[in-house]
Amino acid sequence: MTISSSLNASVAGLAANATRLATISDNIANSSTYGYKRAVTDFYSMVVDSNKGSYSAGGVRTSNQRLIDQGGALVSTSNGTDLAVRGRGMIPVTSMASVNAANGTPEMLLTTTGSFRTDDQGYLTTPSGQVLMGWPALPDGTLPTYPRDTVDGLQPVRINTNQYAGEATTNIDLAVNLPATSTEAGSVAPDEELSVEYFDNLGKSANLAVSFSPSVPASGASNLWTMTLRDSASGGAVVGQYQLQFDDSRASGGTLASVTTISGGAYDPATGQVALTVAGGPLSVNIGMPGDSNGTTQLSDSFAPISISKNGMPAGNLTSVEVDPGGYVHATFDSGIDRVIYQVPLVDVPNVNGLEVMDDQTYRPSPQSGNFFLWNAGDGPTGDIVSFAREESATDVAGELTQLIQTQRAYSSNAKVIQTVDEMLQETTNIKR
Q: Are residues 208 and 252 both part of a single domain? A: yes
Pick the last residue of a domain from 311, 337, 357: 311
Domain span holding position 22: 2-70+394-430
Sign of CA dihedral 28, 31, 32, 37: positive
Domain count, the chain: 3
Strands (E), 27-145: 39-45, 60-66, 74-76, 82-86, 91-95, 109-111, 113-115, 117-118, 124-125, 130-136
Q: Are residues 30 and 55 both part of a single domain? A: yes
Q: What is the pLDDT of residue 164?
A: 67
Q: Are residues 283 and 326 both part of a single domain? A: no
Helix, strand counts (H, E) of the chain = 3, 32
Q: Are residues 300 and 329 both part of a single domain? A: no
CATH number for the domain spanning 174: value is: 2.60.98.20
Q: Are residues 157 and 220 both part of a single domain? A: no
Q: Are residues 150 and 176 both part of a single domain? A: no
Q: Which residues lie closer than 8 Å to 422 by C-beta, 6 or more apart? A: none
Distance between CA 107 and CA 96 in Å, rounded? 10
Q: Are residues 188 and 160 both part of a single domain? A: no
Q: Are residues 175 and 276 both part of a single domain? A: yes
Determine the longest span between alpha carbons in the chain, in angstroms.
147
Distance between CA 259 and CA 245 in Å, rounded? 6
Q: What is the pLDDT of residue 50?
A: 60
Q: Which residues lie closer than 8 Å to 145 by C-beta, 6 or more apart? A: none
Query: Under a CB-based contact definition with an 8 Å cutoff, are residues 331 and 339 in contact?
Result: yes
Q: Are residues 27 and 84 both part of a single domain? A: no
pLDDT tens for the chain, 433 residues: list them: 577 778 888 888 899 999 999 999 999 999 999 999 999 999 888 777 666 667 777 788 889 999 999 999 999 999 999 999 999 999 999 999 899 887 777 899 999 999 999 999 999 999 999 999 999 999 888 999 999 999 999 999 999 876 667 788 999 999 999 999 999 999 999 999 999 999 988 878 899 999 999 999 999 999 999 999 999 999 999 999 999 999 999 999 999 999 999 999 999 999 999 999 998 789 999 999 999 999 999 999 999 999 999 998 887 888 889 999 999 999 988 877 888 999 999 999 999 999 999 999 999 999 999 999 999 999 989 999 999 999 999 999 999 999 999 999 999 998 998 888 888 888 888 887 6
Q: What is the pLDDT of residue 227?
A: 97
Q: Are residues 177 and 304 both part of a single domain? A: yes
Q: What is the pLDDT of residue 341?
A: 93
Q: Are residues 15 and 56 both part of a single domain? A: yes
What are 150-179's pLDDT values in tens digits?
Answer: 999 999 999 987 666 778 899 999 999 999
Distance between CA 298 and CA 93 in Å, rounded? 61
pTM over 0.85: no
Q: Are residues 267 and 322 both part of a single domain? A: no
What are 228-280's pLDDT values in tens digits?
Answer: 999 999 999 999 999 999 999 999 999 999 999 999 999 999 999 999 999 87
